[in-house]
Amino acid sequence: MDFELDGHDGGAGLGDEDDIYGDRDGNRDNGDEDEDEDEDDEPEDEEDFIDYDDGPRLEPPPDPQAQAAAHNAPNVEGDDDEDAGNPPSIGRDHVERALRQEVHVVHFPSARAGEAIQAITPGYGSYSDEVHAENNPYAPFASKRDYEFAMWAKMRGPGSTALDELLKIDGVRNDLGLSYKNTRELNKVIDTHLPATRPRFRCKEIMVAGEVFDVYYRDALECVKALVGDPNFAADLVWTPERHYADADKTVRVYHELYTGKWWWNKQKEIERKEPGGTIIPIIISSDKTRLTTFKGKSAYPVYLTIGNLPKELRRKPSLQSQILLAYLPTTRLEHITNKAARRRTIANLYHACMQKILSPLKKAGFDGTPIASGDGVVRRCHPIFAAHVGDYPEQVLVTGVKTGECPCCEVPRDQLGNHEPYPFRDLHAVITALETADIALRAHACAAAGIKPIHQPYWQDLPYANPFLAITPDILHQLHQGVIKHLVSWVKSAFSESEIDARCRRLPRNHHVRVFTKGITSLSQLTGREHADICRILLGLVADMPLPGGLSPARLVRCVRAILDFLYLAQYPVHTDHTLTLLRDALDRFHANKDIFVQLDIRTGWGVPKLHFLDHYADLTIQLGSPDNFNTEYTERLHIDLAKDAYEATNSKDEFPQMTIWLERREKLFRHKRFVAWCLAGRPPLASLLTAAAETPRLKMMKHPSKPAVHFDTLVNEYQAKFFREALTRYAIRFRHPNFTDAQVEAHADFPLPFRTVAVYHKAKFWLGDPQHPRLSSDEFDVVHATPARKTKRGQVVDGHFDPAIVNNTNGEYAGVAGYRVARVRAIFSISKEKDRRALFPGCHLNVPSLLAYVEWFTDFTEPVANLGLYKIKHSVDRHSGERLASIIPLDHIRRSAYLFPIFGALVPREWTSGNVLDECKTFYVDSFSDRHAYRTIY
């Protein structure tokens, strides 16, 4: 048996961006201007990486068998130059490093931009005066219990009838000490004594095509003032644009928040030229129709508003109420209009008429500016400017007025959508000229020539500085997951045997991030975005070594899958640089270079897919508006639950919209009061940031108590398959006590009896995947490594053991990349919990012994990625003489994260393999870099 031993302030004048946003009547700039790149800046600091060291490092020696196997590893056969379709490997390390370097900031050069013009009482101060909360922070509620019961009743409690019945029970109200005796009185307290910090809903009749429709809406300008003036956001609002660079020479631009894109910088220039001292409030509109009920068929058409001054981390959290429900639009289908073209035209006119009425207060304020106070009491001259409209493809078509099947942004002809060639963005000046044509016939002809439908007064027509064709944003959910990925999965199912695809799905190993489709994926229908994301994690592994019918090489198909997955994961980066955008464009180029395989297989006859074409605009729109995760419609879908579906459930389903709006207004008041009470109880501290403090999150998180406090060595051998646990532990002890020993010396001293026979065992460990030194890249996601033996349920069914592979810091691995790392399968996570046992095994150095250890079985080293796939190929590391798998004991914190392995099934998956035994039965694997976004950024 064998074992392995283990910001700069720069620029004198107004800097110029490449402005692709057109202007009209002095409000939109048509010219392109060059950036000034001659500002000085401070030299960049050294990179920071997480340090995984904790005590002496035990390094497994190189495995000659693994190195030899790497040269003989079969690749996906190609029918042309194999390297032509490979994902770019040169520079990826440089790209990832640049994301973690110190950001060099160039502030907007005008000192007056975003300037304060007045100071008033901060938001919580005026709120305190209105509720008379000097001696009672819970006012207008009589006591803490009175307040908490009201919060429960309106946020979590039963319906009003059930609540009334509860309070009628003899003694309940008196025992609780409530100041109200029924729902009506509670509502009266909320309506009359809690300040309205957000505008009330109005109802307006809109007449279109001779028919009247009710629109429930709020004053858009007052909604903007409510967001800007919320004390909860005061410490996080951004008032001026900035340029961010990844290098001191300012050659590599960085894009993340909206204020780092070129749009804000260019609009700030226009405002400063008109009248210095303005503050831009970028308006982000989201709209999407949703069903309120499953069976009755009722629907709602909510419109949401938020502002780009808020960091995206706050905008995507519904609990912070950083998005305001602006309106409920009419949902009529106009079925009485029998002509389909006339019906579509009327629906478009109705939509724009409603939106024009709702957003009309922004017209004058956007052009001239208006005083708005922030939550800290500072008043600025603010210009609310329409910046982005977030929606799925039907919504994009409706907003821009283009025909279905065309691109909402550029002038590409419909029959050339799949050509992957650059086309100019639509000419706003030509569109506005066509819309202003007086004669009806000439207007229709001019609109057709401009590429839009003859809409009657689009809502954006009179909004200053607005360009709707460049306000359409990338959308990860509908364009990628529910669009391109949906198509790709259907093409793959058509190309290969569906039974073989499902057989592979059922035999993939389990992992914290990866869903095992026990019934396969070919029979699934009406998949959600989450399910498409789950399929993306395994799609490349499914097609990696599956043959195409007729002996056709699968190389180009594999390249297409890899390219689209690269694009998907790159698009989801929270921070982009010029280099990541180059990788994004390259991924799309690789797909288009190989897509004809689907034509050759008679799966496609053309590529006129608008969502696929829109991928050409991702890089340009990121440069203008920041990273795509600023605008994902996934956030809008989540808002539907709180602001539409839950609101409807609180009504009696009759004339529901007036009830829904009142219900929402009361909840908003209670949310604001809840934050005020928390502020009072905290001692009324200065306003603080809400952004996540990533540095406070521990990298390793364990259960408070072990899963099994005393597991015998024999049990570890038999149930956990830790076959050489005793021998590995003695060698670890000798190596730890004598770190300078050679391997021969360790072997010579390791033959001694252990002074104990049990250890405490944990069945899982959690690893935080964020980067504490780079909060912009951090997430709140945890990874889990399992080491759980097989067990029986109460019904006698056997549940397979779950022993995860993991990526181990084998030498001096850094935060990203595989250099210095090796894959190992974790068989047991344990600790020597008894002090006397630690003293006996590690005499004189027991205090320095890591508290948590892991018994692992090694895989071979990382070598070079396999051609076309771009994945690393590994196999079990075994002794060349005995064939036994090499194992070691390592400190648990040497593990960076779990690793997901694709079994190499061959042409036909062995039917005796299962999800539970495939990691034991299969000999060779691909290391998946698509199991989650952290894996993609670090395993390359």
The pLDDT tens digits for 614-647 are 999 999 999 999 999 999 999 888 899 999 999 9
Residues ≥6 apart with Cβ < 8 Å to 346: 208, 209, 334, 337
Q: Is residue 584 part of a domain?
A: yes
Q: Is residue 923 part of a domain?
A: yes
Q: Which domain holds residue 159?
A: 141-193
pTM: 0.89
Burial of 646 (0-12, 13-18, 19+ CB in 10 A): middle
Q: Is residue 866 part of a domain?
A: yes
pLDDT at 4: 44
Please indicate, yes or no, whether residues 538 and 447 belong to a single structural domain of this protein: no
Please indicate, yes or no, whether residues 550 and 435 belong to a single structural domain of this protein: no
pLDDT at 65: 35
Query: 3-state class of 481 per DSSP?
Result: helix
Whole-number CA gyration radius for the chain? 31
Helix/strand/coil percent split, the chain, to 5: 40, 15, 45
Q: Is residue 172 part of a domain?
A: yes
Model pLDDT for residues 787-805, shown as the tens digit of each residue: 999 999 888 888 999 999 9
Note whether 627 and 255 are within 8 A (CB): yes
Note whether 209 and 664 are within 8 A (CB): no
The residue from 607, 629, 651 where one domain ends is 629
Please indicate, yes or no, whether residues 447 and 526 belong to a single structural domain of this protein: no
For residue 348, the tally of other CB atoms under 10 A from its CB is 20
- The DSSP code for 552 is -
Q: Is residue 168 part of a domain?
A: yes
Query: 3-state class of 435 per DSSP?
Result: helix
Please indicate, yes or no, whether residues 522 and 569 belong to a single structural domain of this protein: yes
Q: Is residue 701 part of a domain?
A: yes
Please indicate, yes or no, whether residues 773 and 862 belong to a single structural domain of this protein: yes
**Structural domains counted in the chain:** 4
For residue 43, the tally of other CB atoms under 10 A from its CB is 9
Of 931, 889, 935, 894, residue with least CA distance to 700: 894
The residue from 629, 661, 676 where one domain ends is 629
Residue type for position 482: Q
Q: Is residue 269 part of a domain?
A: no
pLDDT at 844: 83
- pLDDT under 70: residue ranges of the chain: 1-90, 295-296, 692-696, 778-779
CA–CA separation, 567 vs 936, rounded Å?
11
Please indicate, yes or no, whether residues 702 and 593 belong to a single structural domain of this protein: no
Please indicate, yes or no, whether residues 544 and 619 belong to a single structural domain of this protein: yes
For residue 621, give both structure tokens.
């729109």
pLDDT at 838: 92
The end-to-end CA distance of the chain, in Å, is 33
Please indicate, yes or no, whether residues 544 and 436 belong to a single structural domain of this protein: no
Query: 3-state class of 325 per DSSP?
Result: strand
Please indicate, yes or no, whether residues 491 and 433 belong to a single structural domain of this protein: no
CA–CA separation, 46 vs 472, rounded Å?
38
For residue 141, the tally of other CB atoms under 10 A from its CB is 26
Please indicate, yes or no, whether residues 703 and 821 belong to a single structural domain of this protein: yes
Q: Is residue 900 part of a domain?
A: yes
Of 403, 477, 413, residue with least CA distance to 635: 477
The residue from 629, 662, 687 where one domain ends is 629
Please indicate, yes or no, whether residues 928 and 802 belong to a single structural domain of this protein: yes
CA–CA separation, 112 vs 240, rounded Å?
10
Of 549, 539, 611, residue with least CA distance to 569: 539
Please indicate, yes or no, whether residues 782 and 927 belong to a single structural domain of this protein: yes
pLDDT at 696: 62
